[in-house]
Amino acid sequence: MLGLINRVAFEIIGIQVYWYALIIVSGVVLAVWLASREAKKVGMREDDITDFMLWALPISIIGARVYYVVFEWQYYLKYPQEIFAIRNGGLAIYGGLIAGGLVLFFFSRHRFISVWKFLDVAAPSVIIAQAIGRWGNFMNHEAYGPVTTRSFLENLHLPKFIINNMDIEGAYRQPTFLYESLWNVIGFMLLLFLRSKRNFLKEGEVFLLYIGWYSFGRFFIEGLRTDSLMIFGTFRVSQLLSAGLFIGSIILFFIRRRKTTIPFYLREGQSKA
């Protein structure tokens, strides 16, 4: 436990500010900036992104918390005061994505924006924000895997500060937060590469590739985690959802590839020819 990172970054007038919150906010800010830049390139307004986030961010946080609480209801039934203690963690990304998706549906209809176009713009920004957000789990000493050895972690050529902070509750743990963060970074680069290729994708396919990539990796990484939300005491909720989303995204990708005639949105400097 020696050298364990303090979850508290600093204090202001007696109020503790956690690394978890700072990292999550940093990821959101980067996502908004990246999506706003892309929005301008495809004929959307920057305000479309910022206005959407004003609604989506608080509702997504609520959705992420509700999702987590629902699947840990036995605990929160005993300690209801803990339901609102989100500074201690306990935000389920799938709950946030579901809530954000509902906001997007109604927002896009109100602004007369193609939902698929908006999702294509947002997808790379979301996955890199998820990659950053996982480091909030690291600071909170959560989202780790099974017991392992220090030599195993050293063989991964990890920095010492990560190895030292994987010594949790008297045993070294696999850094599943890091596995998912790296998986998301690779996904981010892949989406940017595919999105940049002219006439390669159709509208909506960047988003579907994001769903497929993220859910595929999350399925296997979730299997290593020791803090998974469970259903019926047997099945990991995130694994079931990941499997469903992966299969659904692949099916929908090929359906749209065969039937959709709308090309991937035009970018700056491109013509219809």
Residue 182 maps to a domain: yes
- The alpha helices in 141-232, defined as continuous H runs, are 150-155, 160-164, 176-196, 205-222
Say what the pTM is: 0.84
Residue 2 maps to a domain: no
φ, ψ of residue 57 in degrees (nearest 5)? -60, -55
Number of structural domains found in the chain: 1
For 245-261, the pLDDT digits (tens) are: 999 999 999 888 887 65
Cα angle at 72 between 67 and 73, to 5 degrees?
95
Counting residues of the chain whose pLDDT is more than 90, the rounded percentage is 44
DSSP state of 266: P
Strands 171-173 and 167-168: antiparallel
Predicted pLDDT of residue 203: 84
Residue 59 maps to a domain: yes
- Would you say 30 and 125 are in contact if contact means Cβ atoms under 8 Å apart? yes
Mean pLDDT of the chain: 87
Q: How many CA atoms lie within 13 A of 147 on its CB side?
A: 3
Question: Which domain does 238 fall in, by range?
Answer: 8-259
Residue 162 maps to a domain: yes
